[in-house]
Structure 1
Amino acid sequence: MTRNGLILIAAGGSAAMLAMAFAFQHLGGLAPCALCLWQRWPHAAAVVIGVLGLALPGAALPLFGAVAAGASGGIGGYHLGVEQGWWEGPATCSGGSEVGELSVEELTAQIMAAPVVRCDEVAWSLAGLSMAGWNAVLSLALMAIWLVAALRAYRV
């Protein structure tokens, strides 16, 4: 397979994983925790890198794609360890709004209405692997595809 074909598969894989994450969130009603959100950013970067990689020759962009996929896989592995109780997860999460302009009552109401999503609880699993575990496995496979694409850049 050609370099660009491999880039299409790798970037398409990241796009598919993002689509599945959003489907679980918006269609399945599974709110993401902080670690779930962190795993999405490298996939988004991999999609952008893929578009650029199709337009520009060389091995650099596929290598960046491999780093992005590996980063998501690493975060997924970390998240899996948190879910399994192998190590502690992040102690805090952050809200998405400015609190400086809210009254105490408005802030309290916002805090009380916010869903609590714990990083150490498995919300969904398939074949004994949670979403974080599947992200780790699939992201590492995508990283391998990116690396092969980088190697193909050196073939004439």
Structure 2
Amino acid sequence: MRLRPFFSLILAQWPWIALASSLSMLAIAHGFERFAGLAPCALCLHQREAYWIAAAIAALALFARRMEGAEMTNRALNLLLTFAFVGGAIVAGFHMGVEYKWWPGLPSCTAAGGGAVPTDLLGSLNQPIHVVACDEAAWIFLGLSMAGWNMLISLKLAIYSGLSVLYPRGLTEKSDV
């Protein structure tokens, strides 16, 4: 089986895939929060910011694709996608290091006040405040925490974004650069 046509298709349709990937990662994070009861810590919320930014850039790239002669604009937007995903990987890698006690977390990781704001503020005053610490992995799969998996996914998305800058029409016999 030849993988070249598969990768060519991914790169040629990258803004769609980047948008779908970003929105999927956000949906998964919110699903873990809502349905599995895993409250996000401060660093978890910062990791989501990269996906919101990437989703906005990918949506702009989809509109830019419709413009005549917008190849440089598309490449610039794909480069911005690369930076967004690299930024997300850095935040996730930092969070993973905090979870594995490789380095200390941010002051906001242990300070009170994190999490969602209840709709009944007066009624919630009698309830204890539960602050999610950044240095405790809430979920581990195959030895990696959610932050670790997020870092790997962000790195993969960054690599594809970078390749889409070099090969905006996909992998062809002749180099597009």
Normalised-by-shorter TM-score class:
0.7 to 0.9
- Take 2:163 and 2:22, find their aligned partners in 1: how far apart are those partners? 16
The alpha-carbon deviation at position 125 of structure 1 amounts to 1.1
What residue identity is the alignment partner of 1:117? V
Q: Deviations over 1:54-100 (max 9, x none)?
A: 1213310001011111111100000000000000001234637xxxx
1:60 matched to 2:69? The reply is no
Gaps of 5+ in 2: 1-7, 65-69, 115-121, 170-175
Q: Which has the higher contact order (CA 8 A, sep 6+)?
A: 1
Gaps of 5+ in 1: 97-105
- Take 1:71 and 1:38, find their aligned partners in 2: how far apart are those partners? 10
Is this contact kept in 2: 1:7–1:149, CA < 8 A? Answer: no
Pick one of 72, 76, 81 that aligns with 2:92: 76
- Take 1:45 and 1:80, find their aligned partners in 2: how far apart are those partners? 21
**Structure possessing the higher radius of gyration over alpha carbons:** 2
The alpha-carbon deviation at position 135 of structure 1 amounts to 0.5
- Take 1:70 and 1:28, find their aligned partners in 2: how far apart are those partners? 28
The alpha-carbon deviation at position 151 of structure 1 amounts to 1.3
Pick one of 87, 106, 118 that aligns with 2:103: 87
Is this contact kept in 2: 1:63–1:146, CA < 8 A? Answer: yes
- Take 1:152 and 1:55, find their aligned partners in 2: how far apart are those partners? 19
Q: Deviations over 1:82-125 (max 9, x none)?
A: 000000001234637xxxxxxxxx6x937x63321000001001
- Take 2:79 and 2:128, find their aligned partners in 1: how far apart are those partners? 43
TM-score (norm 1): 0.84
- Take 1:12 and 1:145, find their aligned partners in 2: how far apart are those partners? 14
The alpha-carbon deviation at position 4 of structure 1 amounts to 4.6
RMSD: 2.1
What residue identity is the alignment partner of 2:131? V
Q: Across the two proteins, how many residue pairs are aligned to each other? A: 145
The alpha-carbon deviation at position 14 of structure 1 amounts to 1.6
- Take 2:22 and 2:85, find their aligned partners in 1: how far apart are those partners? 8
Aligned to 1:125: 140
Aligned to 1:113: 128
Aligned to 1:100: none
The alpha-carbon deviation at position 140 of structure 1 amounts to 0.4
What residue identity is the alignment partner of 2:136? E
TM-score (norm 2): 0.75
What residue identity is the alignment partner of 2:51? H
- Take 2:157 and 2:19, find their aligned partners in 1: how far apart are those partners? 8
- Take 1:23 and 1:125, find their aligned partners in 2: how far apart are those partners? 16
